[in-house]
Amino acid sequence: MTISEFNKGLRNKEFSASEAVKKLYQKIKSEDPTIGAFLTLLPDLAIAQAQKIDSVIAKGENLPPLAGVPLAVKDIILIEGQACTAASKILEHYTASYDATVIKKLKEQEVIFVGKTNLDEFAMGSSTENSALQITRNPHDLERVPGGSSGGSAAAVAAGFALGALGSDTGGSIRQPAAFCGVVGLKPTYGAVSRYGLMAMASSLDQIGPFANSVEDASLLFQAIRGEDKFDSTSTPADDGQDLIAPDFSALKNMTLGIPSEYFESGMENNMAKAMEQVKEQLQDLGVKFVPVSLPHTKYSLSTYYIIQPAEVSANLARYDGVRYEGVMPAEYLPNDLQELYFESRGKGLGAEVKRRIILGTFVLSSGYHDAYYKKAQQVRALIVKDFEDAFQKADVIFAPVTPHTAFKIGEKSNDPLSMYLEDAYTLPVNIAGLPGLSIPARVKSDMPIGFQLIGKRFREADILGLGQLYEKEIPPPSL
């Protein structure tokens, strides 16, 4: 069901919000033990909210467009009074003391928060296997990963546990799990959505964005969460000139899409390359033109990201010292000194991947290496930004794959960090350049879901969301 279908049903009294919530939790209770999408369920909050909505409907009063819509939230975004773990042992007993701005905005929309979803610890990973708390399975094939790091959110939407979800995307963590689970995922422009109340991982790359069953739903959710926020100085006012919900389809059909040769040259599996060709033909049938573009510094994206990201991680995660937030040591533990308490708490509370990034990040920032690594990476970052600017001289939107292949098997890559890092080759450059990227399920026949990516100019979410809506409107889903 899409959000607009849900809205209609609710307003036409085909079902009540309370009935919807009850049914949803029955489904979650019976199916989520296998899938593992949720870390926490919020039934009390959800039932109270549903009752409130039903009483407003009974009185015949108006409700905001997202009222009653059941949403799942990645467990790295704060909801006041609720646990927020970042899927880390170090925050296993932490309770959020305030609402993230996106949560505040969605509360004003009267949505229903179903629960908090699993992720790779502190959002570092591409399979959700780095969660210190549980694994999540791909609803399309339980032997496979849902992608990551927002794997729980993607799986929750794909499994029908929520009509939408929030995730965060630092290097691909919304788009890649969306592609693996066959749902839509939007990584907005850096600054389009406030990061206040999102636990900071790599602050120059992190963005919150929605998962949904359709591009139209993702547009509705994005519209509700975007905009300037005085608590995040990088946030920018929403551009109200763009109609996200009712795009001008005839104008969109005149768009030019750029095909970056570097993304299509190597590394993609055959079925993925074939699917990309089919999607390209489908888009051409809609009227859009394709032109070749070049992003020559693509080959440096991965090394640039894996310097800047760990550097920022090492600074951001210094706050988890075992003193602030919640302790991880048993109550009877008495350290000899503060340093020992830090060592013990961080040693015990943080997982292997998180430690790896902190060590890497501390190294690239350290005296003597800073210029060779961190400064150089920042210089290359500027070149990657420039590549996209040049490409957008020729094209309105860039067309790309999301991943080199479909969802891999659980355990297949968990002992090989480098091959896990390579997962992000097509998604990282978008974060490095601060651009919006949309992952859309390709309407082609395939055993496992395949996503394609539309990359827009800065703050031109309307272009990629509009094209995505056009694609969904005019290209029928493949027959089974």
For the window 374-413, what string marks contact with ligand GLN as x by the rule CB under 6 A? ----------------------------------------
CA distance 37 to 119: 9
Q: Contact 33/41 with Cβ under 8 angstroms?
A: no
Is residue 126 within the footprint of ligand GLN (CB under 6 A)? yes
Is residue 432 within the footprint of ligand GLN (CB under 6 A)? no
Shorter beta-carbon distance to ligand GLN: residue 136 or 173: 173
Q: Exactly one of 70, 172, 210, 258 binds ligand GLN (CB under 6 A); which one? A: 172
As to burial, measured by CB atoms within 10 angstroms (0-12 exposed, 13-18 middle, 19+ buried), residue 44 is exposed
Q: How far is the CB of 420 from ligand GLN (least distance, A)?
A: 7
> Looking at 3-11, 85-93, 118-126, 239-247, which segment touches ligand GLN (CB under 6 A)?
118-126
Of the candidates 60, 26, 467, the residue with the CA atom closest to the CA atom of residue 287: 467
Indicate the residue type of 300: Y
Q: How far is the CB of 85 from ligand GLN (least distance, A)?
A: 15
Is residue 128 within the footprint of ligand GLN (CB under 6 A)? no
> Looking at 10-18, 167-175, 218-226, 465-473, which segment touches ligand GLN (CB under 6 A)?
167-175
> Looking at 30-38, 171-179, 254-262, 331-339, which segment touches ligand GLN (CB under 6 A)?
171-179
Q: What is the DSSP string of 346-392?
A: HHHHS-HHHHHHHHHHHHHHSTTTTIIIIIHHHHHHHHHHHHHHHHH
User: ∠ at Cα 120 (116, 121), nearest 5°?
Assistant: 90
Is residue 123 within the footprint of ligand GLN (CB under 6 A)? yes
Q: How far is the CB of 355 from ligand GLN (least distance, A)?
A: 14
User: β-strand 207-212 against 289-293: which pairing, if any?
Assistant: unpaired
Hunting for tokens 């989520």 — which residue is that? Answer: 32
The single residue of 16, 18, 74, 439 carrying the catalytic annotation is 74
> Looking at 91-99, 164-172, 216-224, 435-443, which segment touches ligand GLN (CB under 6 A)?
164-172
Is residue 309 within the footprint of ligand GLN (CB under 6 A)? yes
- Partners of 74 in the beta sheet? 117
CA distance 376 to 275: 36
CA distance 159 to 28: 9
Is residue 424 within the footprint of ligand GLN (CB under 6 A)? yes
Start-to-end CA distance of the chain, whole Å, equals 19
Shorter beta-carbon distance to ligand GLN: residue 109 or 309: 309
Is residue 118 within the footprint of ligand GLN (CB under 6 A)? no
The single residue of 126, 173, 314, 345 carrying the catalytic annotation is 173
CA distance 401 to 451: 7
Shorter beta-carbon distance to ligand GLN: residue 220 or 354: 354
CA distance 433 to 135: 31
Is residue 429 within the footprint of ligand GLN (CB under 6 A)? no
Q: How far is the CB of 130 from ligand GLN (least distance, A)?
A: 8
Is residue 169 within the footprint of ligand GLN (CB under 6 A)? yes
The single residue of 126, 127, 149, 235 carrying the catalytic annotation is 149
Q: Exactly one of 115, 171, 177, 258 binds ligand GLN (CB under 6 A); which one? A: 171
> Looking at 121-129, 178-186, 266-274, 330-338, which segment touches ligand GLN (CB under 6 A)?
121-129
Is residue 146 within the footprint of ligand GLN (CB under 6 A)? no
Of the candidates 402, 423, 403, 438, the residue with the CA atom closest to the CA atom of residue 187: 438
Cα dist. 281→86, 126, 140 in Å? 41, 29, 26
Mark whether 173 is an active-site residue. Answer: yes
Mark whether 4 is an active-site residue. Answer: no
Mark whether 149 is an active-site residue. Answer: yes
Tokens for 471?
């694609």
Q: How far is the CB of 357 from ligand GLN (least distance, A)?
A: 8
Cα dist. 321→90, 132, 154, 324, 327 in Å? 9, 17, 31, 6, 8
CA distance 282 to 263: 19
Q: Exactly one of 82, 138, 153, 170 binds ligand GLN (CB under 6 A); which one? A: 170
Shorter beta-carbon distance to ligand GLN: residue 162 or 425: 425
> Looking at 67-75, 165-173, 241-249, 288-296, which segment touches ligand GLN (CB under 6 A)?
165-173
3-state SS, residue 213: coil
Shorter beta-carbon distance to ligand GLN: residue 21 or 428: 428
What is the layout of strands, in order, in the sheet containing 112-117?
A: 38-41, 112-117, 70-74, 164-169, 207-212, 184-187, 437-441, 451-455, 397-401, 256-260, 289-293
Cα dist. 264→250, 258, 401 in Å? 29, 12, 8
For the window 76-115, what string marks contact with ligand GLN as x by the rule CB under 6 A? ----------------------------------------
Of the candidates 199, 194, 197, the residue with the CA atom closest to the CA atom of residue 209: 194
Is residue 50 within the footprint of ligand GLN (CB under 6 A)? no
CA distance 4 to 6: 5
Residues in binding contact with ligand GLN, number by CB under 6 A: 13
Q: How far is the CB of 204 from ligand GLN (least distance, A)?
A: 13
Residues that bind ligand GLN (CB under 6 A): 123-126, 149, 168-173, 309, 424
Catalytic residues: 74, 149, 173
